[in-house]
Amino acid sequence: MNTSKPSIHLRAVEPEDLDLLYKIENDVKLWNVGATNVPYSRYTLHDYVANASDDIYVDRQVRMMVENEQHQVVGIADVVNFDPSNCRAEVGLIILNDFRRQGFGSSTLEAVADYALQVLHLHQLYAYVDVTNEASHGLFRKMGYEVSANIKDWLYDGKKYRDAILMQRVF
């Protein structure tokens, strides 16, 4: 078994990514792992891609496509709720089904941490993880995140509320 992490590259969202973004943002199965539980129109996503300034200090967020060595998109990494005054930001991660359990999540979180430290000079990254998402708990723990709080009824899937765990990585 290969235990080395795969090489990845983070890049800006391009217009060619619109179909993939549309598919991911409208995948109901993914709504329970994040803060979004509404469908996005192709127009809304096109508008986001066209009008994002690609400046985290202006937008307070940045979305990056995750590519493997063959330049295939394997996932998406988000840095949101960027708070330069307190030197922190929230991280979000989606690895596409075909690429899960191959080390891409670890490689991506490592690259995001490098970006947070070296470019943004952040003191911490954090994530809200559904208490039932054991795969994400394990990944974040493996990458140096610690559980800071259990938050009651934090996520709502349109039918019921679920608890979330606040996980932080302090540099």
Instruction: Please provide the size of the chain in residues.
Output: 171
Q: What is the C-alpha to C-alpha distance for residues 91 and 106, in angstroms, rounded to an integer?
A: 13
Tokens of 25: 């943002």
What is the tens place of the pLDDT at every residue in 50-104?
777 778 988 899 999 999 999 999 999 999 999 999 999 999 999 999 999 999 9
132: pLDDT confidence band, cut at 50, 70 and 90? very high
What does the pLDDT average to over 124-147?
96
- The CA–CA distances, whole Å, from 27 to 38, 63, 65, 110 equal 10, 18, 17, 26
4: pLDDT confidence band, cut at 50, 70 and 90? confident
Share of the chain above pLDDT 70, in %: 92
110: pLDDT confidence band, cut at 50, 70 and 90? very high
Q: Which residues of 141-167 are buried (b: 16+ CB within 10 A; e: fewer)?
A: eebebeeeeeeeebbeeeeeebebbbb
38: pLDDT confidence band, cut at 50, 70 and 90? low
What does the pLDDT average to over 25-38?
64
The pTM for the full model equals 0.88
Greater model confidence, 43 or 14: 14
pLDDT, the chain, mean: 90
What does the pLDDT average to over 37-49?
74
Q: What is the C-alpha to C-alpha distance for residues 97 and 74, in angstroms, rounded to an integer?
A: 9
Helix (H, G, I), strand (E, B) or coil at 79: strand
